[in-house]
Amino acid sequence: MSTTPSTQTRFLLNESDLPKNWYNINADSPVPPAPVLHPQTLEPVTPDFLGVLFPMELIMQEVSAERYIEIPEPVREIYKLWRPTPLIRARRLELALGTPAHIYYKNEGVSPVGSHKPNTAVAQAFYNKAAGTRALTTETGAGQWGSALAMACNFFGLELEVYMVNVSYQQKPYRRILMETFGAQVFSSPTDRTAYGRSVLARNGKNPGSLGIAISEAVEVAATSEGAKKYSLGSVLNHVLLHQTVIGEEALKQMDLAGEYPDVVIGCVGGGSNFGGIAFPFLRQNLREGQRTRLVAVEPTATPSLTKGVYTFDYGDTAKMAPVVKMHTLGHDFVPPPIHAGGLRYHGMAPSLCALYDAGYIEAVAVPQLATFDAAVLFTRTEGLIPAPESSHAIRAAIDEALDAREKGEKRVILFNLSGNGFFDMTSYQAYLSGQLEDYAYPEEAIKASMAHLPQVA
Ligand SMILES: *Cc1c(COP(=O)(O)O)cnc(C)c1O
């Protein structure tokens, strides 16, 4: 382990290399996603319905067929606080694995709040401010999204209400304090501030909450605010994946600096945004330039939306207030096991990504919790950086690719996205180190039960 590799490790871009455009996969996708449906009528939504929740500019991005959408200058100015992010060759990890593979990672954990989420939070706050929005509402699970939006709202002078899943609110007080430091108001969901929250609490006063419930509360507050407040979502939607493509655009340039091109690009998936962000620019090169990079989405075995979910129309939230979309789903009222990768505990997946997976343009694998932490600890000990539990799913898959390459005696170029650092996730590492972390079996019965409640779309 003491061998110090001598050749280049970090591949850095200048501020002037910061992308000027986001890349819209819908311009090139051979399989455009199905229309978004109204949760009551199950008919395609009108811009009016979406306009209650989102500013028009984001709705236009949601349905745009333009290949490139210019990044507004004020957004680029804020991106410069941490972008371009480094691309790093994980040489010490390669050595530890004894693999002929080359492993590169894009480090999105260097953003001020520790993940890729500010890439879209800053953009969403900008467009809301420009449209005259006074306040935003949102949900957060593990707290990464809430922290990112709290930072962005603070920069643009917007108020923010965050509905934080009760279990996380209890377990992660530091994430809450970070949001409050930026000036956000944080509530433990389910709350008594919304009709839906009160109905959930009436049934069970100790409900631990879920992302689906928290989304319902944040949507209800915005929808009943008579235009004063808008809602903001940190993943799943096209415009969110669009904003994240700065990751892949930078990585393309950086792989060029390294003089290599990836055989496989890997990212973890909760709602699909960091994976889409790194993978879609490489998918463009596959579709338009004849490259043949494999794109691998990695999910937990406890919430296997892609590998075990059904590809069908479902509600985005538990209370059926958010739009209905066609996606790989475990059912909108499925409550995932309490795995430590809170950011991956969502029942659905980005529709654009699902369409591509269904048609075979993207691969998916599911990895169990313990093997994920084994990978995270090996990564920490070799590369010196403690990864978010979510990102560790991508590390697990990257290591498995590298081991497979070793077995086959292949030189394989592997690129994965390190979606965030794990500095706020010490309790999960503590659980791992003290032998208390467990694997959750695939929750077959709970998913089957939830499948009975899918909307009946004609
Ligand atoms: C939120 C989050 C994820 C999962 O969300 P995606 O939209 O799938 O990217 C992954 N990693 C980290 C660090 C997160 O905060």
Phi–psi pair at 358, nearest 5 degrees: -60, -35
Q: Which of 238, 256, 286 is the last residue of a domain?
A: 238
Least confident of 6-15, 106-115, 143-152, 414-423: 6-15
- Dihedral through CA 378, CA 384, CA 385, CA 389, nearest 10? 20
Q: Can the peptide bond before residue 351 be classed as cis, meaning omega within 30 degrees of 0?
A: no
Cβ proximity of 39 and 319 under 8 Å: no
Q: State whether 269 and 370 are in the same domain.
A: yes
Residue 3 has pLDDT above 50, yes or no: no
Nearest atom in ligand 1 to the alpha carbon of residue 234 is 7
Give the distance (Å) from ligand 1 centre to CA of residue 428: 16
Instruction: Check pLDDT > 80 for residue 5.
Output: no
Taking CA atoms only, the protein residue closest to ligand 1 atom 2 is 343
209 and 153 together in one domain: yes
What pLDDT is recorded for position 6?
54
pLDDT in tens, 64-123: 999 999 999 999 999 999 999 999 999 999 999 999 999 999 999 999 999 999 999 999
Report the separation in Å between the CA atom of 129 and the middle of ligand 1, taken as the mean of its atom positions. Answer: 25
| pLDDT computed for residue 266 by the predictor | 99
Of 238, 268, 297, the one marking the end of a domain is 238
Q: Is residue 52 part of a domain?
A: yes
Is the residue at 444 inside a domain?
A: yes
Q: Are residues 57 and 205 in the same domain?
A: yes
Q: Are residues 65 and 127 in the same domain?
A: yes
Residues 142, 38: one domain? Answer: yes
Residue of the CA atom closest to atom 15 of ligand 1? 144
Q: How remote is the CA of residue 202 from the centroid of ligand 1, in Å?
A: 31
The stretch 115-141 carries a mean pLDDT of: 97
Tell me the CATH number at 354.
3.40.50.1100
Final residue in a domain of this structure, among 208, 238, 268: 238
Q: Is the pLDDT of residue 375 over 60?
A: yes
**Residue having the nearest C-alpha atom to atom 5 of ligand 1:** 270
Does residue 310 lie within any of the structural domains?
yes
pLDDT in tens, 251-296: 999 999 999 999 999 999 999 999 999 999 999 999 999 999 999 9
* Ligand 1 center from residue 344 Cα (angstroms): 7
Length of the chain: 458
Ligand 1 centroid distance, CA of 266 (Å): 13
Shortest-distance Cα residue to atom 4 of ligand 1? 270
Tens digits of residue pLDDT in 43-52: 999 888 899 9
159 and 292 assigned to the same domain: no
Distance (Å) from CA 226 to ligand 1 centroid: 31
Domain with 189 in it: 21-69+116-238
**Of all helices (H) and strands (E), which one includes residue 3?**
none
Nearest CA to ligand 1 atom 13: 420
Q: Locate the ligand 1 atom nearest the alpha carbon of residue 275 and give its number.
A: 9
The pLDDT of residue 32 is 86
Residue 171, domain member (yes or no):
yes
| Same-domain status, 152 and 298 | no
Does residue 457 form part of some domain? Answer: no
Cα–Cα distance measured from residue 65 to residue 26, given in angstroms and rounded to the nearest whole number? 6
Residue 145 lies in a domain: yes
* End-to-end CA, the chain: 60
On whether residue 308 sits in a domain, the answer given is yes
**316 shares its domain with 437:** yes
Domain co-membership, 107 together with 122: no
The answer as to whether 225 is a domain residue is: yes
% of residues, the chain, pLDDT over 70: 99
Query: Which residues, 6 or more positions from 175, have their beta carbon under 8 angstroms from its beta carbon?
Result: 140, 142, 143, 144, 146, 147, 164, 168, 424
Report whether 122 contacts 158 (CB < 8 A): no
Ligand 1 atom nearest 114 alpha carbon: 13
Domain count for the chain: 2
Residue 2 is predicted with a pLDDT of 44
> Which atom of ligand 1 has the smallest separation from the CA of 117?
15
DSSP-derived 3-state class of residue 92: helix
- Residue scoring higher pLDDT (35 or 70): 70
- Mean pLDDT calculated for residue range 206-218: 91
Query: Do both 87 and 156 map to the same domain?
Result: no
pLDDT at 224: 95
- Residues with Cβ within 8 Å of 315's Cβ and at least 6 positions away in sequence, in order, are 39, 322, 324, 332, 455
Q: Does one domain contain both 122 and 265?
A: no
Greater confidence, 210 or 265? 265
The set of protein residues with a Cβ atom below 6 angstroms from ligand 1 is 115, 117, 144-145, 235, 268-275, 343-344, 388, 390-391, 419-420
> Do residues 374 and 285 both lie within one domain?
yes
pLDDT at residue 1 greater than cutoff 60:
no
Taking the C-alpha atoms of residue 262 and residue 272, their distance in angstroms, rounded to an integer, is 20
Distance (Å) from CA 6 to ligand 1 centroid: 33
